[in-house]
Structure 1
Amino acid sequence: MRPLAILTAFVGVLLSGAIFGFFYAWLCSAMWGLDSADPRVAIAAMQAMNGSVRNVVFAPAFFGTPAVLALAAVFALRVNRAAGLALGLAGVVYAGAALLVTLQVNVPMNEVLAVTPVPDDIDAAREIWAGYSPRWQEFNLIRTIASGITLALAVIGFGLLARPERRRAF
């Protein structure tokens, strides 16, 4: 059971790291870059990026993270209770504060933006972008923090599982 627990915890760490990195990149580069661009360009670029993100490379990290962490927690609980609790909590934090926020806030905002025609008038585009970007970024901050906590908890769980077992002298 220990090797299976270690393997699933390791995959959980990898997926957690991937999704944290994804949200973090939006936080500290993509959105700041779009905010500094012509709002017509920002709208069109965001529409294109949101349209491309639904793919087989992104899906395992976005949807698989809580499932893998839950599975790792189940296996880990049989080996090391603290590791199992850390991995389980990691899955709950991600599902409740990153996945749910994305599905309830960011995705609906993206869907509205996707059907919004990019205006030729820069002032009209600026108004659309000003109504979208700050709110989207507020919720992206929440999911970035949540996925960072998820990664930290997954690393803790993995670390507790991977450390050498102590042998008793008696």
Structure 2
Amino acid sequence: MTLFLYVFSLLSLLSSGAIFGFFYAWVCSTMWGLDAADPALAIGAMQAMNASVRNMVFAPAFFGTPFVLIATAVLAWLSRMKAASLIFAIAGLLYLFGGMILTIIVNVPMNEALAAVAIPQDAAEAQRIWENYSGPWQFWNTARTIVSGVTLALTGIAIFILNAKAA
């Protein structure tokens, strides 16, 4: 295995793991915690988290993962490791469409709509707004979490194949 393929395999694993972990944390703790909180507090907290997530720590994993995976697929192909190349490519395309593009066309517009909401003083109105947001948002977040988990698993399988062939 060439040094470039080794480095890109490692970057593929790290970026896939980072984005899966990010989405997974929302599934198993963050949204459950917000759902248990006062709805007005949940709205404000979600607005703050959505505003803070667009940063240089998050961007490489979110935007870079499919391109690192595709680059790794190309390097594996050039190294005549076609099975691993195909799996890296599938992982990259899967995350591109089921993680990144899904987020851009579904979750981001939902987040932007919530950002435009003034936190209501009326508890019933806050409850209505939160329930209308939280359920659908969690459904789509679970979908992108599953896709990202499969992407991570495929990345691990491709690396296993690379190492088995190199041995």
TM-score (norm 2): 0.96
The 5-angstrom pairing of residues 5-16 of structure 1 reads 5-16=5-16
Aligned match of 1:23? 23
**Structure 1, unaligned runs of 5 or more:** none
C-alpha contact (below 8 Å) 1:6/1:162 kept by paired residues = no
- 2:87 is aligned to 86
Which residue identity is paired with 1:56?
Answer: M
Counterpart in 1 of 2:35?
35
Distance 2:2 2:160 in 1: 13
Q: How far apart, CA to CA, are the structure 1 residues paired with 2:112 and 2:12? A: 29
- Cα distance, 1:9 vs structure 2: 1.3
Deviation at 1:3, TM superposition (A): 2.0
2:117 match: secondary structure = coil
Residue 133 of structure 1 is matched in structure 2 by: 134
Counterparts of 1:5 and 1:163, CA distance in 2: 14
Deviation of 1:157 (Å) = 1.2
Q: What residue number does 1:105 align with?
A: 106
Q: Which runs of 5+ in 2 are unaligned?
A: none
Structure whose CA Rg is larger? 1
Give the residue type in structure 2 aligned to 1:149.
Answer: V
Number of the residue aligned with 2:166: 165
Give the C-alpha shift of residue 162 in structure 1. Answer: 2.6
Output the CA distance in 1 between the equivalents of 2:57 and 2:136: 27
2: CA distance, partners of 1:78 / 1:158: 15
Q: CA deviation at 1:100?
A: 1.1
Runs of 4+ in 1 over 3 A off after TM superposition: none
Aligned amino acid, residue 27 of structure 2: L
Do 1:2 and 1:76's aligned partners in 2 also have CA atoms closer than 8 Å? no
Output the CA distance in 2 between the equivalents of 1:150 and 1:93. 7
CA distance in 2, matches of 1:104, 1:90: 20
Looking at structure 2, the residues matched to 47 and 76 of structure 1 have their Cα atoms a distance apart, in angstroms, of 42
* Map of 2:97 onto structure 1: 96
Note the C-alpha offset of 1:15. 0.2
Once residues 89 and 145 of structure 1 are traced to their aligned partners in structure 2, the CA distance between those partners, rounded to angstroms, is 15
2:156 paired with 1:147 = no
Aligned residues between the structures: 166
TM-score, normalised via structure 1 length? 0.95
Cα deviations by residue, 1:25-59 (Å, 9 ceiling, x for unpaired): 00110000000000000000000000000000000
1: CA distance, partners of 2:73 / 2:82: 9
